Amino acid sequence: MARLIFLGSPGAGKGTQAKRLSQTCQVPHISTGDIFRTAVAMQTELGKKAQFYLDSGELVPDELVLSLVEERLTAADVASGWILDGFPRNVDQATFLDDLQQRLDQPIDCVVNLEVPDEVIISRLVQRGLQEGRSDDTEETIRRRLDVYQAQTEPLIDFYRCRQKLVSVDGNQPVDEVTAELAKVLEVGDD
Ligand code: AMP
């Protein structure tokens, strides 16, 4: 297990689980959301262009996302694998990733779909907004991000199911139990 994608609504726990797995498997955790948030905080050219989309809960346009991902997946530290969190987010991004993987000879091992009911998601995100001060964890933006997820990202569940790469894990349980279940389905060492 060296190349893995996390799917799941905002707030499903992708970041937390991806970070843990990246330590267990010793491969980089690549979060496009983190990359954009850092770019916004540093007010780089990319950050200035992405800020509006992050603040409103919309997807950053593909032309800003795809080159960034290609650059990241050709860096030296990903030779032994990667864990993608927040990418791909729509069918065009997934198709791009398919092509890129073929070019780089980096096939995906598995796509994890973390399942959490919407009502749990909303309360988790409101909580995170209060605790971490994330500017996109306000109730209005949360609703928009959930709509965007359903319209644009959820179709990827079938996209990867058809490729027989998908495993679904119940994300509505205590964090350590999700980690343990993931370790079991992915057959990676935990403890
Ligand atoms: P996340 O931390 O993954 O929930 O991402 C936070 C925000 O960053 C999203 O609401 C989008 O505005 C933007 N973003 C992150 N990843 C992508 C992506 N793959 N495509 C487009 N926008 C993205």
Mean pLDDT of 131-155: 92
pLDDT for residue 139: 86
Report the DSSP pairing between strands 166-170 and 29-31.
Answer: unpaired
Q: pTM for the complete prediction?
A: 0.95
Query: In angstroms, rounded to a whole number, what is the distance separating the alpha carbons of residues 150 and 11?
Result: 14
- Residue 1 confidence class, pLDDT cut points 50, 70, 90: low
Mean pLDDT of 126-130: 88
pLDDT over 80 at 189, yes or no: no
Residue with tokens 């707030």: 11
Please name every residue paired with 169 in a beta bridge, in sequence order, or none if there are none. 114
Residue with tokens 């058809």: 162
Average pLDDT, whole number, for the chain?
Answer: 94
- Residue 188 confidence class, pLDDT cut points 50, 70, 90: confident
37 is catalytic: no
Please name every residue paired with 168 in a beta bridge, in sequence order, or none if there are none. 113
Report the DSSP pairing between strands 82-85 and 166-170.
Answer: unpaired
20 is catalytic: no
Is 62 within 8 Å of 39 (Cβ atoms)? no
- Residue 32 confidence class, pLDDT cut points 50, 70, 90: very high
pLDDT for residue 130: 87
Question: pLDDT for 68-96, tens place per residue?
Answer: 999 999 999 998 899 999 999 999 999 99
Ligand 1 atom with the smallest distance to the CA of 65 is 20
Q: Best substitution site from 54, 73, 95, 114 to test ligand 1's pocket, by max atoms within 8 Å of Cβ?
A: 54
What distance in angstroms lies between residue 65's CA and the mean position of ligand 1's atoms? Answer: 9
Mean pLDDT of 4-21: 96
pLDDT over 80 at 190, yes or no: no
Q: Which residues line ligand 1 (CB under 6 A)?
A: 10, 32-33, 36, 53-54, 57-60, 65, 86-87, 89, 93, 136, 145
Ligand 1 atom with the smallest distance to the CA of 88 is 19
For 130, residues 6+ apart whose C-beta sits below 8 A from its C-beta are none
- Residue 44 confidence class, pLDDT cut points 50, 70, 90: very high
Q: Return the beta strands (E) in 39-129 as ranges.
A: 82-85, 110-115
What distance in angstroms lies between residue 49's CA and the mean position of ligand 1's atoms? Answer: 13
Ligand 1 atom with the smallest distance to the CA of 85 is 3
